[in-house]
Structure 1
């Protein structure tokens, strides 16, 4: 199992110390570097900025929100970054949620599975560069012939020859149908709350996708990149508990504060994981402004399952458990270069 560094998306201000993190990851033998986006910083610019000082790390997005750019625009980003990185780019994409898609990007959220399939098909046409790109699908018609069209649209082929026509496309997916489609059409999967305890839930969904006619990959060459926070503590008592407590507000945010009350896909994942007894109350408190009350409901066992926290020996055991479930890359959030180097030392 490989290790990746997850830089995530920015908060109110750009993060500090990132160059040190990236240098430590490169020096310590990490495999990859990933950036994310929500509704502030974008994923692609920081990846290019910090990735310019690397020579070995694979550079990926987790995830590019598909509604924020046209498929052709996403393909342009991908082929550009792949050239600049000498073939190290991974295109991670996802549909986001209705609040962001309709409220931030001003696009319709309906039929996310069909839209995902169409976006992937168009991107692969651009990268293949076998013919001018056309698409008859209902979501991204090329050339465009809908309301407002002047009728002069022309099928085009990329001016730039892609360095690789098969740039890896990984998809973020949470529900059964989306995970199955990811196994069918993508090169990898970026789950948001994949854990050792919940891993069994996903296996039938993945198997369904791999078994479909024309599936692109098999389990043997399909990548699963799971994100977690890994921290080595001095003991498995107070020091470990302090880290778990620090992680609980983020869990409460995703369980209770992300998405709309009627459509929080992250909350649904927690319910599938067996925490339906608390999800409604966490959401109720969070949306009412009582974040402390929502956080207090998050159990230690959930945070412990989602992350890897403990002494060096305990961390090694836990990492092995994640690997046994089929995870090919563990994507880690770290705070300092020393943490990165210590993790590499312990797991090396």
Structure 2
């Protein structure tokens, strides 16, 4: 089926006030609600609320870091939400970044591919209700069994940016979740994972016809995210390395203002959707037309009523 997702909670809106919008999402044409986990809400709590407000929606985390919870706690959190939304919950996990893992959570960001793979293998066993005693490459678990194993077990998708993790997502998980790519980048990612694997992506949408304002916000976000090594390597692989080289040089020199200024308009326009609401909706659709299974709209603040914008960005019928 065609999917169309929205990132919740919306910036600037108290969590409990989302009920009025979330209840309407299925009637508007949304199929999914997804969360993120950085330094705002955790990934699970908004979905617990959404599971009761809109029982028709599929719910997903994009993503939960594999380092910031122990394996058992991660399984427990996933199992709880899977019980609240049986057959409708997707656990998206990934390595996250050194800033979040080490800087904010005091954990060591080591062997991200292996840690993600090992966590996936553990979750497959644990969420199936098995007792797990295993020494993985990056951690060990002794005699863990969920007391409330979900039935059915939730799907597990992996955050993936480059071929190694994309192939792991395609062969051992239930799909791949990516981020910070242009619609024209989707075929390259799709070629790695194959035609039948679910591919989800968070798409940043700034519904305003003020190009200067949208590009200024987009530049700030791009310089903050794409200077993270994993994203820098992702865009090297996508073929955007030369265009972003001046930004990396200025960032490395400590000149944040210049790093923003040297990002080409063409890069901003390809990675951050902006324009009228109708134009933004069409640009999201272009990702789907290029092979994306599940667009996950992340609405950026513009000063306009966020509920009205969410309604306006619903899929065409």
On whether the aligned pair clears a TM of 0.5, the verdict is yes
- Could you tell me how far 1:52 is from its partner in structure 2? 3.5
**Aligned pair 1:337/2:307, yes or no?**
yes
- Could you tell me how far 1:278 is from its partner in structure 2? 4.6
Count of residue pairs the alignment pairs up: 311
Deviation larger for 308-317 or 193-202: 308-317
Distance 2:144 2:15 in 1: 39
Matches within 5 A, 1:45-194: 45-129=45-129, 131-143=130-142, 155-165=143-153, 167-194=154-181
Query: Residue 291 and residue 49 in structure 1: after superposition, are their counterparts in 2 closer, same or farther (change >3 A)?
Result: farther
TM-score normalised to structure 1 length:
0.78
Deviations 1:101-128 (A, max 9, x none): 3344443333222222211111111121
Partner of 2:204: 229
- Could you tell me how far 1:64 is from its partner in structure 2? 0.3
Deviations 1:48-82 (A, max 9, x none): 24543222221211110000112221111111011
Deviations 1:128-149 (A, max 9, x none): 12x4222132322221xxxxxx
**Larger Rg over CA atoms:** 1
Distance 1:127 1:48 in 2: 18
Is the contact made by 1:9 and 1:35 (CA closer than 8 Å) also made in structure 2? Answer: no
Query: Residue 39 and residue 309 in structure 1: after superposition, are their counterparts in 2 closer, same or farther (change >3 A)?
Result: closer
- Could you tell me how far 1:17 is from its partner in structure 2? 5.6
**Aligned pair 1:239/2:226, yes or no?**
no
Deviations 1:252-303 (A, max 9, x none): 21123x4xxxxx1112222333332353432343465543322222222112
Distance 1:331 1:36 in 2: 11
Larger relative strand fraction: 2
- Could you tell me how far 1:15 is from its partner in structure 2? 7.1
- Runs (4 or more) in structure 1 with deviation over 6 Å come to 8-11, 13-16
Query: Residue 21 and residue 284 in structure 1: after superposition, are their counterparts in 2 closer, same or farther (change >3 A)?
Result: farther
TM-score normalised to structure 2 length:
0.85
Distance 1:16 1:253 in 2: 29
Distance 1:112 1:231 in 2: 31
Query: Residue 107 and residue 311 in structure 1: after superposition, are their counterparts in 2 closer, same or farther (change >3 A)?
Result: closer
Unpaired runs of 5+ residues, structure 1, are 144-154, 208-218, 259-263
Distance 1:324 1:268 in 2: 26
Partner of 2:292: 327
SS of residue paired to 1:251: helix
SS of residue paired to 1:67: coil
Query: Residue 73 and residue 331 in structure 1: after superposition, are their counterparts in 2 closer, same or farther (change >3 A)?
Result: same
Distance 2:16 2:79 in 1: 29
Query: Residue 277 and residue 294 in structure 1: after superposition, are their counterparts in 2 closer, same or farther (change >3 A)?
Result: same
Query: Residue 270 and residue 16 in structure 1: after superposition, are their counterparts in 2 closer, same or farther (change >3 A)?
Result: farther
Partner of 1:269: 234
Distance 1:37 1:310 in 2: 27
